Amino acid sequence: RKEVEQDPGPFNVPEGATVAFNCTYSNSASQSFFWYRQDCRKEPKLLMSVYSSGNEDGRFTAQLNRASQYISLLIRDSKLSDSATYLCVVNPAFWGQGGKLIFGQGTELSVKP
């Protein structure tokens, strides 16, 4: 079983739609969680961290469910510029291990006019 699993998609949605991605992780001791965004042929960039209480940044909402070991990302009012691959990322350690992160394979989103 992969440590971090995501539906690869693609998710094809019209502009203005609401879309949600889920991600599951296998290590129940995992401490920190993030969503990264990767545009085509570019490097991954941090989109947002995911906090236990859930957090929102504009049209983006991230939630964590520790009991079920999944993380979600909700995008409201999708824009064409949201088209990208979204990577679910987990840090399994509280401290140390050189800051290693575990990356999911990514979910591809395509927003159409």
Side-chain-side CA neighbours of 112 within 13 Å: the count stands at: 5
Rounded Cα distance between 22 and 12, Å, is 16
Give the binding site for other proteins (CB under 8 A): 31-32, 34, 42-46, 49, 87, 91, 93-101, 103-106
b/e sequence 55-66, b meaning 16+ C-beta within 10 Å: eeeeebbbbbee
C-beta closer to other proteins: residue 26 or 105: 105
Strand order in the sheet with 55-57: 4-6, 19-25, 70-75, 60-65, 55-57
Q: How far is the CB of 51 from other proteins (least distance, A)?
A: 10
Q: How far is the CB of 18 from other proteins (least distance, A)?
A: 26
Query: Closest approach of Cβ 31 to other proteins, in Å?
Result: 4
C-beta atoms surrounding 4 within 10 Å: 22
Nearer to other proteins (CB atom), residue 21 or residue 78: 21
CB-nearer residue toward other proteins: 62 or 78: 62
User: Would you say 79 or 100 has its CB closer to other proteins?
Assistant: 100
CB of 107 to other proteins, least distance (A): 11
